C-alpha cells in the first residue's frame, strides 16, 4: 500500500503506453535546418557577420520570405534585441538587406537599449504572451543581458543556469530563441568547444551554430549541431553585405581551388561522379582526377557508392526543408501533452520561493537556479 507522499513522489513517472499514445505536434523552425524551436547559441569571432546573419533571419521571418537568400521561412513575428547597435545603423542595415523598394516588415520588432535590464526575462515572456504569432527572438549579444556570476556559484553551474532559463522561455512559448555570443581565441578541434565560456551554456542549449569565417574573407562555413537538427556544415558567402547560402558542399578555406572545383562537381551530380567526368569537366588527365576523388573520399569529404563512383555526402544547401511542408522535416518532435517539461514543472513549483538576486534575474532560494521572470510588481 502506498502513502499519499509516495504517490506524490512517483507521480512524475509515466509508462511506455503513455509515451505511445502521447499527442505531439511537429517541431517548428524559424529557419529550417539552422534555427529550430528552442534555445540556439550562435557563436563566432568578433566582427565576422553574426549580427548580419540574425538580422537577415529576423527580417525574413517577419516578411515571410527567404532567409540567407535560399531558405523559405514561415511568416511570423520576430523580435531582434540589437543591443550593440544604434537605431541609425539598424535602419541602414535593414534597408540594405531588404532593398530600397521593400519596406521594413511591420512584424519586425526591435530593441536597441533595455530600459530595465533586470527585467529582461520578464520582457521576453510578456512579449510572447502579447504576440502569440512570435516565431523568432534574437538576443545580440548575450553578454549584454547576462547576469553577473555570483561568488558562490561555479562557472559551469552558472553558465548552465543562464542557458536553462533562456531555454525555458523558448520552450514555454514554442519559439526559436537565438543567443549570440563569441568564440574563444584558442583553437578547438570540435567547433562546439570553440564557444566562449564553459560547456554549461552549450549543454543547456538545444542547438549550437558556429560561424567560421577568416577575417577579410567573403566565404565562411556555418556549422550546426543540436538535439533537433542534423549535424551539418553550410557553405556561405558574404555578397554585398548579405549572407548567401551556397548551393554546394561546404569546403575548408585551406583547400586548393582545384580541390574545391572537384568538390563542387561531385556536389552537383547526386547520381555519382567518376574520374572520367572530372577529367573532362576540369581538363585533367584521368589519373590525376582519380587521385583527387580518392583523397577526398579518404578524407570523408565525399562518399564512395561503388568502385570508381563518388557521391556527395549530403544534399546541397538548397535542399534544406521548408517549414511550409512539415512532412519534409525529419527532425524529432517535442512532447507537448502538458505543454511543459518536467524541468519546467519543477521550476514552476519553486517559483513562490524565488528571491531576487543583485543582478535582477530571479533565483530560487534553494538551488540558486535562474527562475521566475513573471513578477507581480
- pLDDT at position 120 over 90: yes
pLDDT-derived band at 127, boundaries 50, 70, 90:
very high
Q: Which residue has the higher pLDDT, 30 or 1?
A: 30
Strand partners, 212: 221
Mean pLDDT of 254-273: 83
Looking up cell 533537433, which residue turns up? 228
- Angle subtended at Cα 283 by Cα 282 and Cα 285, rounded to the nearest 5 degrees: 110
Mean pLDDT of 320-339: 35
Q: Which of 256, 285, 286 is nearest to 274 (CA)?
A: 286
What is the predicted pLDDT for the residue at 366? 35
Mean pLDDT of 92-112: 91
Q: How far apart are CA 282 and CA 262, in angstroms?
A: 8
What is the predicted pLDDT for the residue at 1? 60
Q: How far apart are CA 181 and CA 36, in angstroms?
A: 18
342-349 vs 155-173: helix axis angle to the nearest 10? 100
- Largest Cα span, the chain: 82
Q: How far apart are CA 213 and CA 221, in angstroms?
A: 7
- pLDDT at position 325 over 80: no
Q: Give me the percent of the chain exceeding a pLDDT of 90.
A: 53
Mean pLDDT of 319-341: 35
What is the predicted pLDDT for the residue at 320? 47
- Convert the pLDDT of each residue in 198-215 to its tens digit: 899 999 999 999 999 988
Q: Which of 375, 345, 370, 314 is nearest to 33 (CA)?
A: 314
- pLDDT at position 375 over 50: no
Average pLDDT of the chain?
Answer: 81
Domains and CATH numbers, the chain: 23-247 (3.40.50.300), 257-315 (1.10.10.10)
- Convert the pLDDT of each residue in 345-356 to its tens digit: 333 333 333 444
DSSP for residue 232 = E
What is the predicted pLDDT for the residue at 254? 53
Mean pLDDT of 220-234: 89
- pLDDT at position 89 over 90: yes
- pLDDT at position 373 over 50: no
pLDDT-derived band at 252, boundaries 50, 70, 90:
low
Query: 7 — phi, psi (to 5°)?
Result: -65, -40
- pLDDT at position 357 over 50: no
Q: How far apart are CA 373 and CA 165, in angstroms?
A: 9
Q: Which residue has the higher pLDDT, 276 or 193?
A: 276
Parallel, antiparallel, or unpaired for β 38-44 and 176-182? parallel
What is the predicted pLDDT for the residue at 247? 61
Q: 234-261: buried (b, 16+ CB within 10 Å) or exposed (e) per residue?
A: bbbebeeebbbbbebbbbeeeeeeebbb
Parallel, antiparallel, or unpaired for β 232-239 and 219-226? antiparallel
Q: How far apart are CA 116 and CA 163, in angstroms?
A: 20
What is the predicted pLDDT for the residue at 123? 95
Question: Does residue 141 have a cis bond before it (omega within 30 degrees)?
Answer: yes
Query: 55 — phi, psi (to 5°)?
Result: -65, -40
Of these ranges, 100-104, 107-111, 194-198, 352-356, the one predicted with the greatest mean pLDDT is: 107-111
Q: Which of 202, 204, 178 is nearest to 192 (CA)?
A: 202
Total-model pTM: 0.68
Q: In this structure, how many other beta carbons lie within 10 angstroms of the beta carbon of residue 57?
A: 26
DSSP string, 49-98: SHHHHHHHHHHHHHHTSEETTTEE----EEEEEETT--HHHHHHHHHHHH
Mean pLDDT of 129-151: 93
The answer for residues whose C-beta is within 8 angstroms of residue 176's C-beta and 6 or more apart is 28, 29, 30, 31, 35, 36, 37, 38, 40, 135, 136, 137, 170
Amino acid at each position: 500500500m502506498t502513502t499519499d507522499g509516495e504517490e506524490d513522489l512517483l507521480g512524475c513517472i509515466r509508462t511506455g503506453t503513455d509515451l505511445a499514445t502521447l499527442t505531439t505536434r511537429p517541431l517548428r523552425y524559424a529557419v529550417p535546418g539552422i534555427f529550430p524551436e528552442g534555445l540556439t547559441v550562435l557563436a563566432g569571432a568578433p566582427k565576422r557577420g553574426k549580427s548580419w546573419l540574425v538580422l537577415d533571419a529576423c527580417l525574413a521571418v517577419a516578411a515571410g520570405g527567404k532567409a540567407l537568400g535560399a531558405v523559405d521561412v514561415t511568416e511570423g513575428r520576430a523580435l531582434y534585441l540589437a543591443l550593440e547597435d544604434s537605431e541609425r545603423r539598424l535602419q541602414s542595415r535593414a534597408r540594405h538587406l531588404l532593398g530600397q523598394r521593400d519596406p521594413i516588415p511591420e512584424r519586425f520588432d526591435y530593441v536597441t537599449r533595455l530600459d530595465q535590464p533586470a527585467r529582461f526575462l520578464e520582457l521576453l515572456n510578456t512579449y510572447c504572451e502579447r504576440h502569440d504569432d512570435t516565431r523568432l527572438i534574437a538576443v545580440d549579444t548575450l553578454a549584454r543581458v547576462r547576469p553577473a556570476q555570483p561568488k558562490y556559484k561555479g562557472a559551469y553551474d552558472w553558465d548552465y543556469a543562464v542557458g536553462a532559463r533562456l531555454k525555458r522561455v523558448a520552450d514555454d512559448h514554442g519559439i526559436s530563441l537565438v543567443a549570440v555570443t563569441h568564440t574563444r581565441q584558442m583553437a578547438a578541434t570540435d567547433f562546439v568547444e570553440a564557444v566562449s565560456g564553459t560547456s554549461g551554456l552549450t549543454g543547456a542549449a538545444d542547438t549550437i551554430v558556429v560561424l567560421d569565417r577568416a577575417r577579410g574573407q567573403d566565404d565562411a562555413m556555418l556549422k550546426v549541431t543540436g538535439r533537433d537538427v542534423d549535424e551539418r556544415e553550410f557553405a556561405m558567402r558574404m555578397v554585398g553585405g548579405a549572407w548567401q547560402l551556397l548551393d554546394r558542399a561546404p569546403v575548408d578555406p585551406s583547400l586548393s581551388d582545384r580541390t574545391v572545383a572537384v568538390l563542387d562537381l561531385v556536389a552537383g551530380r547526386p547520381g555519382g561522379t567518376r574520374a572520367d567526368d572530372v577529367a573532362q569537366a576540369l581538363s585533367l588527365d584521368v589519373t590525376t582526377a582519380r587521385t583527387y576523388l580518392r583523397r577526398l573520399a579518404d578524407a570523408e569529404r565525399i562518399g564512395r557508392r561503388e568502385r570508381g563512383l563518388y557521391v556527395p555526402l549530403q544534399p546541397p544547401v538548397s535542399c534544406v526543408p521548408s517549414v511550409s511542408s512539415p512532412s519534409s522535416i525529419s527532425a524529432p518532435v517535442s512532447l507537448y501533452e502538458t505543454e511543459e517539461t518536467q524541468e519546467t514543472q519543477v521550476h514552476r513549483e519553486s517559483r513562490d520561493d524565488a528571491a531576487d538576486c543583485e543582478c535582477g534575474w530571479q533565483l530560487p532560494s534553494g538551488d540558486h537556479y535562474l527562475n521566475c521572470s513573471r513578477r507581480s510588481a
